[in-house]
Amino acid sequence: MPLRSNRPDSCPLCLGSEEEVLWRDGRCRVIDVRHADYPGYLRVIWNEHVAEMTDLDADDCAHLWRVLLGTERVLRRLMSPDKVNLASLGNMVPHLHWHVIPRYRDDAHFPDAIWAPPRRRGPSPHAVVHPPATLAAALRAELGGSGATAFA
């Protein structure tokens, strides 16, 4: 049975409270994870409560890829990471969302995934920290639309 334990009325990504939304449109949003070890770690969250990419129809799927790629492009441009990590896991919260993580050779886990035990203290000294307004403006320039409520 696919995971359905998080009903929309208790799913944190359906509630979406206390999120630092950098960009949004009618279908999805990009938030700043505000991870102490990973500046620029963003999350792309589909608004509707579905679990898997293949639960989306073709048009929604293409839209989400477009936002995901645009987010990667913005992070590469602003932060010049050594690598970008993309992941849709959702084992804890089976509500479709993507982790978009700029990685550096000397960050807390490199070259492991950030879910592995850390190898050193983070963040990387090479990670450029941008204020949310800068990230929001870059996402708006890349993806169009009016952007986030807070930074529009």
**Interatomic CA distance for residues 55 and 110, integer angstroms:** 32
Among 21, 110, 124, 138, binds a copy of itself (CB under 8 A): 110
What residues between 18 and 37 interact with a copy of itself by CB under 8 A?
A: none
Closest listed residue to residue 30, CA positions, set 43, 19, 39, 18: 43
Q: Which is nearer to a copy of itself, 20 or 60 (CB)?
A: 60
**Range 78-97, binding a copy of itself (CB under 8 A):** 80-92, 94
> Binding a copy of itself by CB under 8 A: which of 117, 125, 129, 149?
117
Least distance from a copy of itself to the Cβ atom of residue 52, Å: 6
- The verdict on whether omega for the bond into residue 131 sits within 30 degrees of 0, i.e. cis, is no
Residues 96-109 as b or e (16 or more Cβ within 10 Å = b): bbbbbbbbbeebbb
CA 57 – CA 120 distance, rounded (Å): 42
**Positions in the binding site for a copy of itself (CB under 8 A):** 1-3, 51-54, 61, 65, 68-69, 72-73, 76, 80-92, 94, 103, 105, 110-113, 115-117
